[in-house]
Chain A
């Protein structure tokens, strides 16, 4: 996939570009709004990652123009402002998603992936990772054929982790998806729930599916490691 990054902070742009290239995407960088606009209507991109605070043409203006020209293209907005007003404004101007700096790189990747896929993650009704089976239709979990009873929160946590196998999910991301923004800053709640979840899902079995990544968060084992 070909992705355009419009970001005036060179280091942020390079960091994002490097990460996306590692995911085998083709990446172009524009350092201001005017270049961004020129590139966006010259080449055919699959996605635009756009910083709102840009020199020259403002990010909001660029967002509006790109959206006018192409209704389909996914646009992810980055900003240092996280006031609700600017969030609402950018959605109204046509952004598909929104990330506030500083963001976890893992989270950026998850969102890019979701936007490129265009649709909710893994619509399959039964997820299997190794010997773990999650039946989304009936919200039932079993491992090695054994039924595992989970509380609704534990189920939501396991389901979220298992939806992104092999990816590091930060505690902030987990809180935002499984709880809500009001729990932001209460990262130890994630650790407590993960511990309980492990007690049911991992501890009785030799292979551990939920891995801790120091400083980053948690990762659910993918097929290869499970």
Chain B
């Protein structure tokens, strides 16, 4: 799972916020309930202590202590009600203490004596020596003869504690559950909301300068994503316009250049063949003519490129044998290599059938082989091999030439790019040969790649889809 995806982060934030809110709510709830229960219990004890003190002990001097004890026993029956009652005289001696309660929740004999500093009424929580906890409220009753009794009424804090523990357990279990559900919900929700983003991303990956007429999917939801996809589509529109403008410019410009070039070339040819001119002048005219011809070639190549860009490669679309084409082309160029004592090895024995335009694919072989020979020093070697691998026809041209510097490697297929003007020694190309190779490969649904080691040589790899029709024919 991608922890940096919006989906994951949204779900995580969802979970964190939910966890924080529920934890705070839980703590508040726990504290409030706990306090309320403690208060209520204490209040009950306090009321009872006051009742005993005011109704019985205040009159003890008149009714006698025995009466009071009897009354407490009969009216309050502390043992049955699991309650603790203790009456202490002014001098510290205990008048009455209740017996062990029914539920054995505390041992009355272990309840320590009330601290002496309090006078009127007070409440305390007492932890007994056996670890049990009690809530005790005390009330001091003054008698008519000036004496006083301290009435203590208490009960075990256990039920409240138990309830609190239950509540805590409930919260401890419930909150993670709720947070988990919230996180899952957040994840699912985010995924649903972001699904169009995935679709847009997939489609956007597929858009290159060759299919700028295509558009991204637009979800008609009226939300931010619709706005985003519309904005991106408008951007592609502008790119499309820009690209077709520049393509049209190249095409128009090369068309417009042709007529003046024709005139210049024709006039210069006339001049060059004029025997009356001094040979020096004729030589200069010839030199100019060479440049004019070169200019004409560049214009022609640019036009060819712009036509390939416009998808006009499919003039002739036939199944052809790439291996045979490569072998025959390299035969035709053998003398170029022999001239530099370069050994050309061609391994193209088994047919590799691809669909395409024969003349254009031949141009790929010509341009790549010409390059290989051009950049390989005397006595080197060039190896050509054509084979089929996983549904692709592959043509490999490896030379033992000067190589291409790594920083130039990604640029060699760019128009007008040349690694080094001096390398080939009097190279008259315009740096369009490899750009044409790339365009032709792209127009055939294939690609061309280059790898190189400086000083050791270069390898160009042309990959073309194998003709499907041919495969069917072989299967039959």
Q: Does B290 have its Cβ within 8 Å of any Cβ on chain A? A: yes
Please count the residue pairs between chain A and chain B whose beta carbons lie under 8 angstroms apart in the complex. Answer: 120
Q: How far is the CB of A200 from chain B (nearest CB, A)?
A: 13
| Interface residues as binary, B206-246 with A (CB distance below 8 Å gives 1, 0 otherwise) | 00000000000000000000000000000000000000000
Q: A215 to B428: give the CA distance in the assembly, Å.
A: 13
A216 contact from B258, B286, B335, Cβ within 8 A: B286
| Interface residues as binary, B351-372 with A (CB distance below 8 Å gives 1, 0 otherwise) | 0000000011011011000100
Q: How far is the CB of A191 from chain B (nearest CB, A)?
A: 10
Q: How far is the CB of A214 from chain B (nearest CB, A)?
A: 3
Chain B, residue nearest A84 (CB): B315
A80 contact from B259, B265, B268, Cβ within 8 A: B259
Given contacts A179-B332, A192-B336, contact A215 B268 (CB under 8 A): yes
Given contacts A101-B261, A187-B428, contact A182 B270 (CB under 8 A): no
* Residues of chain B within 8 A of A11, CB atoms compared: 263
Residue pair B262, A102 in contact (C-beta under 8 Å): yes
Q: A180 to B328: give the CA distance in the assembly, Å.
A: 12
Which parts of A89-103 form the interface with B (CB within 8 Å)? 100-103
Residue pair A213, B286 in contact (C-beta under 8 Å): yes
* Residues of chain A within 8 A of B363, CB atoms compared: 182, 184
Residue pair B336, A105 in contact (C-beta under 8 Å): no
| Interface residues as binary, A172-187 with B (CB distance below 8 Å gives 1, 0 otherwise) | 1000000111111111
Residue pair B266, A153 in contact (C-beta under 8 Å): no
Chain B, residue nearest A106 (CB): B269
* Residues of chain A within 8 A of B133, CB atoms compared: none
| Interface residues as binary, A190-226 with B (CB distance below 8 Å gives 1, 0 otherwise) | 0011011000000000000000011110000000000
Query: Could you tell me how many residues of chain A have their Cβ less than 8 Å away from some Cβ of chain B?
Result: 44
Residue pair A102, B265 in contact (C-beta under 8 Å): yes
Q: How far is the CB of A157 from chain B (nearest CB, A)?
A: 11
Residue pair A15, B362 in contact (C-beta under 8 Å): no
Residue pair A153, B290 in contact (C-beta under 8 Å): no
Residue pair B370, A214 in contact (C-beta under 8 Å): no
Residue pair A214, B336 in contact (C-beta under 8 Å): no
* Residues of chain A within 8 A of B286, CB atoms compared: 213-216
| Residue of A12, A179, A186 contacting most chain B CB atoms (<10 Å) | A186
* Residues of chain A within 8 A of B289, CB atoms compared: 214-216
Chain B, residue nearest A79 (CB): B258
* Residues of chain A within 8 A of B303, CB atoms compared: 82
Residue pair B259, A12 in contact (C-beta under 8 Å): yes
Q: A104 to B270: give the CA distance in the assembly, Å.
A: 10
Residue pair A9, B259 in contact (C-beta under 8 Å): yes
Q: Does A83 have its Cβ within 8 Å of any Cβ on chain B? A: yes
Residue pair A182, B359 in contact (C-beta under 8 Å): yes
Q: Does B272 have its Cβ within 8 Å of any Cβ on chain A? A: yes
* Residues of chain A within 8 A of B429, CB atoms compared: 185
Q: A195 to B336: give the CA distance in the assembly, Å.
A: 11
Question: What are 27 A-B residue pairs whose CB atoms fall within 8 Å in the complex?
Answer: A11-B263, A12-B262, A12-B266, A15-B263, A15-B266, A80-B255, A84-B315, A102-B265, A102-B296, A104-B269, A104-B293, A153-B332, A182-B359, A182-B363, A184-B300, A185-B300, A186-B370, A188-B336, A188-B428, A189-B333, A189-B336, A213-B273, A214-B282, A214-B289, A215-B285, A215-B286, A215-B293
